[in-house]
Chain A
């Protein structure tokens, strides 16, 4: 049985349990449908587990993470994730355009984009977003509490 599959099974049972607990708070008439779906998901997960049991007895839990995460660059991935989360955290404070500028510079600098390409990307992307979303679609981009 593959480690990744066992995590999928745990995740699905976790989702079922989470929703099952929440269903308890719903009025009687609203419970049936979500309960049916939770039961369906639990049955499917159990079927998947039953299919894995012979493999579990034959070879135990086989760590397939080297295959699943083949060529996975942890540092690069987590730095990009961190930048994305930081972008969302900063967005209400510094507003969209300033945050986007900081994000683009940091992300492309980290990914070693040559300076002329970095400048061109910022200019093109900034112009594109401004024309399409601010001018054409009239989306009021967040200004940020700092500049309000």
Chain B
């Protein structure tokens, strides 16, 4: 315990360095801007910022990605409240009551509630991040090659199953990602596979290029196919930003409830902020003494939705950092960020790289304060940014995709790979395949392959080694759960949206 406290304290000390503070401030601003622009997602923002973090200290790089993540989830509420268009799906429930308050001339109140609830949701989620991550990492220490094989399969089944309209299409996407992950040197034999004599493919398809292509470049194509939408002018607001003591007391139980909901949803791989916001909103309504206000401008409704979606952020980092199973597409991209810095999610992050991990955790806590300050003082400015036309965003995002993918190894061929993945992402979007599952297949493929082939090598080809320990059986059970969970999630999501 004293060791943990030392690590936490040291993490905060490092996170408070001027460089990290500046990084988290800028990242939060960028995240809020991305979040409040309808059509741009948190995953797209994090993917776009990945190359910027290359030359940095890994902790600073992760703080930047975390800042964009949290900022984008909160930023979605600004456009949801002021122009009735959720910036991200995570703010869909916020738009219900947020815009009603705006129509009543209480936009400042709505923004204040969203900001303060997001702050507490995010801050409280850090408690579970600090308490559960080391425990889960200790469990992961017992994993050997067969367990890693099952773990990668579990990650794939759960995200492929849950986040796609059709489970089979999700699994097909995951297997497509796995197949693409076989491009490059054979990890056991050292033989080039499917490289077509391109030396750039010897080390496999660059994950960052694939991420930028699938999440950011595909967004350019999605925006380019539709007519350029005229954004509504945000409502002007003049009221005082902030909440009274009475309002804070009224919202406290809702925030705590939504924190628990958001955290659990975040920890459960495959679910995400878009589900959590509706769950938080529904529970806020169920427990409210003013049910009649819901749908007509309830501050509890906004707090319920916003605290829940921001509580997802800390929760979803737990399985990502400890087991290497991302909770949603944003954390899949964040995991790509870890790998780019040469770090493998798992117990090593809490032993060998504990300093870096706890600096990131400290930074993640401070990001919430940064988000509160930037959100409260800058909301009027962000409201104007939400009007930025797609006609400007299309060429701007494309240029950033090109620069980002080029900057990785200063290689032109990787820009071409990024563009190809952009088209693949666009086609996946059109034909109901799952981009997150493709990415996950690419990321988890090498882990699963090494696990499987090492295990079979150790057992002289005897496959029974794959089910030789209770942990293996537990992971097999989780894979089955992963395959069955779409039914559960489908019913839950359908019921909530109804």
Contact = CB atoms under 8 A, between A and B. Distances in A.
B37 to A, nearest CB: 14
A112 interface: yes
17 contacts: A19-B194, A34-B179, A34-B194, A37-B178, A41-B172, A41-B179, A44-B172, A45-B172, A48-B168, A76-B224, A77-B225, A96-B403, A96-B406, A108-B395, A113-B389, A137-B51, A138-B55
Contacts of B410: 139-140
A141 B193 CA distance: 30
Given A37-B182, A38-B179, A121 B226 contact: no
Interface of B: 51-52, 54-55, 166, 168-169, 171-172, 175-176, 178-179, 182, 186, 188-189, 191, 193-194, 220-221, 224-228, 389, 391-392, 394-396, 398-400, 402-403, 406-407, 410, 412, 415-416, 419, 430-433, 449, 452-453
Contact of B419 (A12, A76, A88, A111): A88
Across the A-B interface, the 3 shortest Cβ-Cβ residue pairs: A111-B391, A107-B395, A80-B224
Query: Which interface residue of B225, B228, B453 has the most chain A CB atoms within 10 A?
Result: B225
A57 interface: no
A76 B221 CA distance: 10
Contact of B403 (A5, A38, A117, A129): A129
B55 A33 contact: no
Interface residues of A, number: 59
B431 A7 contact: yes
Contacts of A76: 224-225, 227
A69 B430 CA distance: 8
A53 interface: no
Given A26-B191, A71-B226, A81-B221, A121 B168 contact: no
A37 B175 contact: yes
Q: Is the interface of B mostly helix, strand, loop or mixed?
A: helix
Nearest to B187: A33
Contacts of B406: 96, 139, 141-142
A47 to B, nearest CB: 6
A135 interface: no
B268 to A, nearest CB: 24
Given A34-B193, A117-B389, 18 more contacts: A8-B172, A8-B432, A12-B176, A27-B191, A41-B179, A45-B172, A51-B168, A72-B225, A76-B224, A88-B416, A107-B398, A111-B228, A121-B395, A133-B407, A137-B52, A137-B407, A138-B55, A141-B403
A107 B182 CA distance: 37
A140 B402 CA distance: 13
Contacts of B433: 8
B25 to A, nearest CB: 15
Contacts of B169: 8, 48
B430 A68 contact: yes
A4 B432 contact: yes
Given A26-B191, A107-B394, A12 B172 contact: yes
Contact of A73 (B168, B226, B419, B449): B226
Given A7-B431, A8-B169, A12-B176, A108 B191 contact: no
Contacts of A38: 179
B186 A30 contact: yes
B435 to A, nearest CB: 14
Nearest to B416: A88
A31 B332 CA distance: 28
A91 B415 contact: yes
